[in-house]
Amino acid sequence: MSNSYIYYPELIESSFWGKDKVLIDDDINLLTKTEFNLKGYGIFSIKEYNDFLKKFISKNISIILGKDLDIEKYHTHVNEEQHKQILNSMPYKKNNSEELHIFSKYLEEFMSDLLKEKVKIFNDDIWVRICRPSIISNEDFNPCHRDVYLDFYRNTVNIYLPIIGSNEKSSLFMEKSSHLWNENMTSTTKGGAYFKNSNKKYSVDAIVQSRIELNMIRPNPDINEILVFSPYLIHGCSDNKNEDITRMSLEIRFIRNNEEGLKQEYDFNEFIKQRNWR
């Protein structure tokens, strides 16, 4: 279309313009009581947990590899098969260890205070996202998307917490206020995104075209800061332009700690029993 911006030309034939609706209007917006609701994201300081997180992920990767490694140089230590094994060992659960449980409870209390309502870690899942330098691998990050294109992530809120290698060249890209956009402003794939040229399949739908130009920014939280953002916000396409540092970050979703939230978790677990993620 002449009035659209194209981001993934090879996916145009498999994409569709959205309906005339704003997704978040039909769902629970956990940012409603915050001062950053219109922006869709905010950065906040937390207690010092970076040393714990580095030791935690180093230990778990070392168990899989059978050797210790410098996680900043992860990309020099790990081959593709080992990388896949490490990804498939996730998500971690908040009760995996006493230290992780303490950290998780702190985050749940922090987020409940910030959002002004009681929330819990969705499904107790704790993800570590690993993004090698793009000159090493250009497939460690999702295309531009909204998490809620996967229905089971609706009614939640996300955090991005840097561990290592997250800076102005590598931190998460997002489009300010796009959680409030009408769906008819974007054209997306359905049932995930398949890039034939690289034979790469993503679980989440990709935003292929937009009637509004995407001006993605990297808010770039520092160590011991968290980026809190709406999963309805357009984000992703977050390549790592560092030449020799792997980016690792924590991604956790939160949901209301009530019967509806627990029901959504139950439905999610029933779904993933039938799902082959990778």
Question: How far apart, in whole angstroms, are the C-alpha atoms of residue 138 and residue 256?
Answer: 35
238 is written with which tokens? 């977050």
Distance CA 95, CA 251 (A): 16
Q: State the helix-helix crossing angle for 50-65 and 80-88, rounded to 10 degrees.
A: 120
d(CA 236, CA 226): 17
Note whether 229 and 146 are within 8 A (CB).
no
Structure confidence by residue, pLDDT tens digits, 214-250: 999 999 999 999 999 999 999 999 999 999 999 999 9
Q: Which residue, chain included where needed, has tokens 């991604």?
A: 251
Say yes or no to pLDDT of 31 above 50.
yes
- Between 3-17, 173-187, 264-278, the lowest mean confidence (pLDDT) is in 264-278
| Residue 153, helix vs strand vs coil | helix
Going by pLDDT thresholds of 50, 70 and 90, the confidence category of residue 185 is very high
Residue 276's pLDDT band (boundaries 50, 70, 90)? low
**For residues 70, 61, 239 and 150, what is the CA-based torsion angle, rounded to 10 degrees?**
-160
Mean pLDDT of 1-7: 76
What pLDDT, on a 0 to 100 scale, did the predictor assign at position 39?
Answer: 98
| Rounded Cα gap, residues 88 and 215, in angstroms | 33
Judged against a pLDDT cut of 60, whether residue 10 lies above it is answered with yes
- Whether omega before 133 lies within 30 degrees of 0, making that bond cis, reads no
% of the chain beyond a pLDDT of 70? 97
Chain mean pLDDT for the chain: 94
pLDDT, tens digit, for every residue of 128-171? 999 999 999 988 999 999 999 999 999 999 999 999 999 999 99
pLDDT number for residue 77: 93
Nearest C-alpha neighbor of 150 from the set 7, 25, 277: 277
Q: Which domains does the chain have, with CATH numbers?
A: 5-272 (2.60.120.620)
Q: Which tokens in the block code for residue 6?
A: 């194209």
Q: In this predicted model, what pLDDT tens digit does every residue of 72-128 receive, in sequence order?
A: 999 999 999 999 999 999 999 999 999 999 999 999 999 999 999 999 999 999 999
In sequence order, what are the residues at sequence separation of 6 or more whose Cβ sits closer than 8 angstroms to the Cβ of residue 2? none
